[in-house]
């Protein structure tokens, strides 16, 4: 019994000696299997993340930026190349559409970024692409102003794509950081796995004979784990290469903001090695005298609050070279939410900032040049008009006296030369206003027939002297149309005057018609359509090779035209710009030796209601009136020659006038006597006409009508005098007819 027990006990000892280690080995194997599976899954996930990061570039969107920049560069109004613009537009459209495809969601790594890409594509297709197509279809529509606006819009879209690319890059770096964290966890698990393998090896040594199969299994597991460790090291190496080779500057700090690590791009850009910056705060190394203090304070507040932020800041390299970076800083969080440090990704945006500064400086320079040009033209106009008022006024008065035939010829020639000089000044001012876009249009009711009649009444004396016939017809034209009647009349004056100038014999005719446009919306009894004005002459005509330049500034049909007929070469250029500002255009058909026909087409809204009396008076259709004017008039004028001219003209109208030499004397005279009208010069010493009028309007009691006399005739000058409280505007030089007309208006509507 005892022997059996001893044998049984021995067997049990052997059993336990074999089975317990075997069980332990089995348990260890199960644990190792679980750890191995977990490690395999982690490695698989990391490989996928890494592959996504490698594939996750934003090359397509970067190409969108490049094509938009090329398009922006091609929008040059001084050298418009429609083919180049179309090529840039087509390439930009292709890249933009590629950026909206579904697979770009995987490239960008975020559905919101894909949605933003599609939103930017919608902005392109809805707002910018139609404008570019229109320019390709008609390059002539690309003006400096429209080019500047469109280039700014293209640049704005490119900047938004730039931000999208930056956000995608940041997302890729964030995913790379997450992959690195996962890899660190994998290394920790691997260490546990190595411990389990050690235990398994001990168990296998104990179970030398009976657990050979287990030893073989453990050996296989060891080989597999070694392969996985090799893959893990390769993965870590790829992550390191990705961070080291990026052009973005990467800085990792501890929770106190002290630098722990920087990549090679940081070293290349700043000149600081890792050993130079470890333990230092980035701001203490990189910020300089021109770094914005508000931006620095913003960054410090966000870091203190442990919040992520983005901004642009001016930094300095080790050698003192300034550079701009777009900075994104995010905290590094543990699983518990504790912040262990910060990662900062910096993109060098120095070139973009320099470009923006250069564009801003160029814009300011252009605006300053435009202001200087405007001021120069205004000054020159004033200086020319002031003596010209005396020349034209005195010669006009002289023509109304008894003179010999030779004397009348001389005076007439001087008067006509003065009128011609005035026309040149007016053309230059009108062209300058149209070219700068400062010409404001008004939409008022106008009777087209009355406007044509006014123009013909003005130009008939010229036609009679030249022996030319003037005719016009306006069948089917509505009695009232909405348009800028002043500019419409200017169009007709320029075109009919041009026809008279270049027609040695025969006639000049005007034909007005209305062409309804059912595609445009009409309200009530109003009809939408085009007013068509055809001005035909039987003059010298224009050669076919000159037609393409006839509407250009400072150009005429022939090099000898200016010598033969005079002029600035601006008349037809002004006509085209006015027609285009009114929403229409002008065209010409001409045969040398036979004549020319100019056709103006202007969109208008027409009705059968007759234009009101107020409109007719403002447009100059009211009768001039004859006889003497019974008005008490005060003339405020500092120039003695112009005092004499105005006084003589007023006496011709039957008016005895009092004279004040400046605004102070004018106010004193107005306080002492109730005048019906004050002719107020705008530029006077001591107190100018505008200030004097403002003070006059602040007084109680009798208020005379005030008419501005000024040599300033640029666009907007009338608005200035009206805003000061004046009632009418008379531009120097003025004629006896002009003075009679404005005083007749004042007499018809006196002020108490």
pLDDT tens-digit profile of 692-723?
Answer: 999 999 998 899 999 999 876 555 677 888 89
Give me the residue spans of the domains in the chain: 10-245, 247-348, 442-618, 633-748
With a pLDDT cut of 70, the percent of the chain lying above it is: 72
Residue 331: per-residue pLDDT: 92
The correct answer on CATH 3.40.50.2300 for the domain covering 633-748 is: yes
Q: What is the mean pLDDT of residues 641-652?
A: 88
Residue 26: per-residue pLDDT: 63
Rounded distance, CA 612 to CA 605, Å? 16
Helix (H) or strand (E) holding 247: none
Please state the length of the chain: 752
Q: Give tens-digit pLDDT for 423-445.
A: 666 666 655 555 555 556 677 78
Q: Give tens-digit pLDDT for 341-358.
A: 999 999 999 999 889 888
pLDDT band at 624 (very low <50, low <70, confident <90, very high): very low
Rounded distance, CA 69 to CA 157, Å? 10
Q: What is the mean pLDDT of residues 50-58?
A: 49
Average pLDDT of the chain is 78
Residue 28: per-residue pLDDT: 65
| Neighbour count for residue 36 (Cβ, 10 Å) | 19
Nearest Cα residue to 596 out of 554, 531, 553, 544? 544
* Architecture of the domain whose range is 247-348: 2-Layer Sandwich (3.30)
pLDDT at 310 over 90: yes
Give Rg (Cα) of the chain: 44
Residue 408: per-residue pLDDT: 78
Q: Give tens-digit pLDDT for 440-473.
A: 667 778 888 988 988 888 788 888 888 999 999 9
Residue 382: per-residue pLDDT: 61
CATH class of the domain whose range is 442-618: alpha beta
Secondary structure E strands in 352-488: 444-446, 469-473, 480-483
Give Cα 8 distance to the centre of its chain.
101
Burial label for 297, CB within 10 Å (0-12, 13-18, 19+), is: exposed
Report the predicted TM-score, pTM, of the whole model to 2 decimal places: 0.39
Residue 622: per-residue pLDDT: 35
Secondary structure E strands in 384-475: 444-446, 469-473
CA distances in angstroms from 188 to 28, 39, 50, 231, listed in the order given: 18, 10, 19, 15
Domain 247-348 and domain 633-748 have a common topology: no
Rounded distance, CA 30 to CA 303, Å? 47
pLDDT band at 3 (very low <50, low <70, confident <90, very high): very low
Q: Return the higher-pLDDT residue of 459 and 523.
A: 459
Contact 620, 454 (CB under 8 A): yes
pLDDT band at 632 (very low <50, low <70, confident <90, very high): very high
Residue 171: per-residue pLDDT: 80
Rounded distance, CA 656 to CA 645, Å? 13
What SS3 state is found at 193?
helix
Q: Return the higher-pLDDT residue of 49 and 225.
A: 225
Residue 617: per-residue pLDDT: 30
Residue 714: per-residue pLDDT: 57
Nearest Cα residue to 488 out of 451, 542, 527, 520? 451
pLDDT at 389 over 60: yes
Q: Give tens-digit pLDDT for 165-201.
A: 888 888 877 877 776 777 777 667 767 766 766 676 6
Q: What letter does residue 126 receive in the DSSP assignment?
A: I
pLDDT at 34 over 80: no
pLDDT at 554 over 50: no
Rounded distance, CA 604 to CA 459, Å? 26
Residue 238: per-residue pLDDT: 61
What SS3 state is found at 85?
helix
pLDDT band at 318 (very low <50, low <70, confident <90, very high): very high
Between 63-77, 227-241, 410-424, 668-682, the lowest mean confidence (pLDDT) is in 227-241
With a pLDDT cut of 90, the percent of the chain lying above it is: 24
Rounded distance, CA 461 to CA 102, Å? 75
Q: Return the higher-pLDDT residue of 316 and 193.
A: 316
Rounded distance, CA 101 to CA 107, Å? 10
pLDDT at 620 over 50: no
Query: What strands, in cross-sheet order, belong to the sheet with 705-710?
Result: 657-660, 633-636, 677-681, 705-710, 728-731
Residue 591: per-residue pLDDT: 87
Rounded distance, CA 650 to CA 660, Å? 15
Q: Are strands 469-473 and 507-516 parallel, antiparallel or unpaired?
A: parallel
């Amino acid at each position: 019994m005892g022997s059996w027990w001893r044998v049984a006990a021995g067997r049990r000892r052997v059993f336990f000696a074999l089975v317990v280690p075997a069980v332990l080995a089995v348990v260890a194997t199960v644990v190792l299997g679980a750890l191995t599976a977990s490690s395999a899954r982690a490695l698989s996930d990391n490989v996928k993340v890494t592959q996504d990061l490698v594939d996750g570039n934003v090359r397509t969107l970067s190409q969108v930026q490049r094509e938009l920049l090329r398009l922006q560069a091609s929008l040059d109004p001084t050298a418009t190349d429609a083919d180049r613009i179309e090529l840039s537009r087509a390439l930009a459209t292709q890249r933009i559409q590629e950026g909206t495809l579904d697979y770009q969601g995987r490239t960008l790594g975020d559905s919101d970024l894909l949605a933003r890409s599609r939103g930017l594509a919608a902005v392109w297709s809805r707002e910018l692409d139609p404008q570019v197509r229109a320019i390709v279809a008609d390059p002539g529509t690309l003006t400096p102003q429209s080019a500047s606006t469109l280039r700014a819009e293209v640049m704005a879209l490119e900047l938004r794509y730039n931000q999208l690319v930056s956000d995608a890059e940041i997302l890729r770096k964030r995913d790379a950081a997450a992959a690195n964290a996962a890899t660190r966890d994998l290394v920790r698990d691997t260490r546990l796995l190595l411990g389990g393998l050690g235990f398994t090896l001990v168990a296998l040594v104990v179970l030398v004979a009976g657990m050979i199969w287990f030893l073989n299994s453990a050996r296989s597991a060891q080989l597999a784990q070694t392969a996985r460790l090799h893959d893990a090291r390769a993965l870590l190496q790829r992550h390191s290469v990705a961070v080291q080779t990026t052009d973005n500057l990467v800085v990792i700090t501890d929770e106190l903001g002290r630098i722990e690590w920087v990549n090679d791009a940081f070293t290349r850009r700043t000149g600081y090695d890792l050993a130079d910056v470890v333990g230092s705060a980035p701001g203490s190394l990189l910020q300089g005298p021109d770094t914005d203090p508000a931006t620095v304070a913003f960054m410090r507040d966000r870091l203190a609050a442990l919040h992520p932020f983005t901004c642009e800041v001016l930094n300095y390299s080790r050698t003192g070279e300034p550079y701009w970076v777009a900075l994104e800083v995010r905290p590094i969080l543990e699983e518990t939410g504790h912040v262990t440090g910060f990662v900062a990704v910096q993109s060098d945006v120095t070139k973009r900032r320099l470009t923006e500064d250069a564009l801003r400086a160029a814009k300011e320079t252009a605006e300053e040049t435009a202001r200087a040009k405007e001021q120069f033209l205004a000054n020159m106009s004033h200086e020319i008009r002031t003596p010209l008022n005396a020349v034209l006024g005195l010669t006009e008065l002289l023509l109304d006296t008894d003179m010999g035939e030779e004397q009348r010829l001389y005076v007439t020639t001087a008067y006509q030369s003065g009128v011609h000089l005035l026309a040149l000044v007016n053309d230059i001012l009108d062209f300058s206003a149209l070219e700068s876009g400062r010409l404001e249009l008004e939409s008022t009711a106008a009777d087209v027939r009355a406007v044509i009649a006014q123009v013909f009444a003005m130009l008939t004396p010229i036609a009679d002297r030249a022996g030319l016939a003037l005719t016009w017809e306006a069948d089917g034209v509505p009695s009232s149309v909405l348009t800028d009647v002043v500019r419409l009349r200017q169009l007709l004056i320029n075109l009919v005057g041009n026809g008279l100038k270049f027609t040695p014999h025969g006639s000049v005719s005007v034909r007005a018609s209305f062409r309804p446009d059912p595609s445009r919306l009409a309200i009530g009894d109003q009809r939408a359509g085009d007013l068509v004005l055809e001005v035909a002459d039987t003059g010298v005509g224009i050669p076919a090779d000159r037609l393409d330049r006839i509407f250009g500034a400072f150009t005429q049909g022939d090099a000898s035209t200016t010598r033969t007929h005079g002029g600035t070469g601006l008349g037809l250029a002004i006509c085209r710009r006015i027609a285009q500002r009114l929403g229409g255009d002008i065209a010409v058909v001409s045969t040398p030796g036979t004549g020319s026909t100019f056709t103006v087409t202007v969109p208008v809204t027409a009705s059968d209601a007759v234009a009101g009396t107020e409109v007719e008076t403002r447009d100059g259709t009211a009768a001039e009136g004859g006889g003497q004017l019974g008005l008490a008039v005060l003339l405020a004028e500092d120039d003695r020659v112009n005092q004499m001219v105005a006084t003589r003209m007023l006496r011709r109208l039957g008016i005895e006038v009092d004279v004040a030499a400046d605004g102070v004397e004018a106010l004193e005279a107005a306080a002492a006597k109730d005048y019906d009208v004050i002719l107020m010069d705008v530029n006077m010493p001591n107190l100018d006409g505008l200030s004097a009028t403002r003070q006059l309007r602040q007084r109680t009691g009798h208020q005379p009508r005030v008419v501005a006399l000024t040599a300033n005739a640029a666009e907007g000058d009338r608005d200035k005098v009206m805003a000061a409280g004046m009632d009418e505007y008379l531009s120097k030089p003025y004629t006896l007819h002009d003075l009679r007309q404005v005083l007749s208006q004042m007499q018809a509507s006196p002020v108490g």
